[in-house]
Amino acid sequence: MERKIYKKSKSIKIVTMIMLVMIISSCGNKKSSLEDLQKVTTNTEDKSNNFASGLIANTDTGYYTWNIDKKHMMYFDNESEKQVILCNRPDCEHKYDADGSVTTDVKCNGYFSDEYSKNHILTYGNSIFLIKKVNKKGLYLTQIAEDGHYREELLCLTENTSEESLNNIILHRGYCYFAIESMKDNIAVSELYRVQLKKDAKPIKIDEIQGTSPIIMHIKGYEDEVYYVKFTCNSESLNNPLDAKMSYELKKYDIKAETISDVLDENIDDYVVDTVNNVLYYHRCGEAVYKCDLNTLQTEQIYSDNNLILCKLMYDGTNIYIDNLQTYICDGDIDRKIYAIDSYGNIVKKIECPVTFDKGIFECGDSKYLFNYTYDYWNYIGKDSLNQNNNDVITQEEWKQIEWE
C-alpha cells in the first residue's frame, strides 16, 4: 500500500514537471535556439575596441555588465537608462535590494555560476559570449541569447583550464581572436589564435612570442585586419616599471591574405585606428602620442604631456581618448589624467572621474556614453557633455551611477 502511494506521488511529480517545462518554454522563451552566427550580416564590427576592459559589452539596444556579486548579468537599457537582471522568465523570483544585492535561484536566466569567467563579456550580432571553464576539458567560448534564456558551449578555445591564461580576446568578422599565456618547456610563451565562430571549430595558431613576461595584448579588429601588440620586458625591473626596458611591437594580421606584418618599427604600447581616414594614432612608450597616415606612413607628434609613460588609447569614431594610467604605474600617485583630443591633438575635454576613481577603469564607450567602473559600480555620462563648449572639463559631479529599474 505504502509503495503504491509513493508511486502515485512520483508520477504526479513527473506530470507537474512536464507541465512546468511546457509553461516555461511557451511563455518565457521567445526562441528555442540561438542566433545563427553565420547569418550575422549587420553589426559584425568588433565593439570590444570601445570596451577594452572586458567588463562591459554592448549591442544596439543596451549594455551588459556584472552585478556587484559577480554572479548575475545585468542589462543596462539605452532608452530607460536603468539596469535589470538579464532574465525575462515570468515565473522567476529574482529580487534585488537597494544595495545592489540579488536573491535568485540557479534557474534564473541572469545567474552565472563560478564556472563562467567574469573577466570577458563579448557581444557579436545580438548574442552575448562568455568564457566557461569546463572541468578537465578547457575554456569554452559560450554563446548566450540576448535575453539570457539559452546558452551553448560553442567551441573549445584551449584545453588549459586556467582562466588567467587567457588575457585578451575579441570577436571580429565571424572569427574569435585570442591570446593564451603558458609555460612550455620552462619557457614563458604567449600565443595568438584564430577560430571561426562555428560549433566545435578548432583554433589555429597565427603568432607567438617568447621571453620574459611575454604578452600578446591590445588585439583590435579593423575591417580586414587585426592589430595586436607583442610585449616583452627585461627581467631585472619587473618590480619597478619605470626602470624596466619594455619592448612593444605593433603587428597586423591580414585576414584575407592570412599574413602578418609590422605596422611601424617603434615602441608602441597602445594605439587606435581610424579606418575612415586610414590613420593610426599611437603612443610611443615613455613619450608622446603620434599620428601616422597609413597610406604614406608619414608620422607626426600630436600630443604630449608630463607623466605619459604608458597610456591607454581609445577611439569612438569622433574623439581620441588618452588615459595616462598613472595610478596603475606609480602607487600613491594620484595624477591620473584622462583627456579627449581631436585628430590634431587639440584637447576637447579634460575628463575628471569620481573621487573614488583612483584605480578604476575608464571606457570611452560607443557613440552614446562614456563609462567608468570603480569599486564594483558603473558610472556613465552622455556624450552630449563632450560637445558642450561652455566648460573645458567634465567634472566628477556630472557622472551618474547606473541605477535599477
- Residue number with CB closer to Zn ion (111 or 339): 111
Rounded alpha-carbon distances, angstroms, from residue 59 to 46, 109, 180, 221, 286: 11, 18, 26, 17, 36
List residues bridging with 293 in a β-sheet.
Answer: 279
- Cell numbers linked to 201: 571549430
The nearest distance, CB 191 to Zn ion, in angstroms, is 38
CA 338 – CA 109 distance, rounded (Å)? 37
The nearest distance, CB 95 to Zn ion, in angstroms, is 9
In the three-class reduction of DSSP (H, G, I as helix; E, B as strand; rest coil), residue 111 is classed as strand
- Cell numbers linked to 231: 610585449
The nearest distance, CB 215 to Zn ion, in angstroms, is 38
- Residue number with CB closer to Zn ion (144 or 313): 144
- Asked if 85 and 53 count as a contact pair (C-beta separation under 8 A), the reply is no
Rounded alpha-carbon distances, angstroms, from residue 85 to 53, 66, 128, 144, 250: 21, 9, 14, 14, 39
What is the SS3 string spanning 13-60? HHHHHHHHHHHHHHHHCCCCCCCCHHHCCCCCCCCHHHCCCCCCEECC
- Residue number with CB closer to Zn ion (111 or 362): 111
The nearest distance, CB 128 to Zn ion, in angstroms, is 16
Interacting residues toward Zn ion by CB under 5 A:
87, 92, 94, 108
The nearest distance, CB 361 to Zn ion, in angstroms, is 27
- Residue number with CB closer to Zn ion (149 or 336): 149
In the three-class reduction of DSSP (H, G, I as helix; E, B as strand; rest coil), residue 327 is classed as helix
- Asked if 349 and 341 count as a contact pair (C-beta separation under 8 A), the reply is no
Amino acid at 197: L
- Residue number with CB closer to Zn ion (94 or 252): 94
The nearest distance, CB 239 to Zn ion, in angstroms, is 45
The nearest distance, CB 97 to Zn ion, in angstroms, is 15
- Residue number with CB closer to Zn ion (144 or 268): 144
- Residue number with CB closer to Zn ion (28 or 211): 28
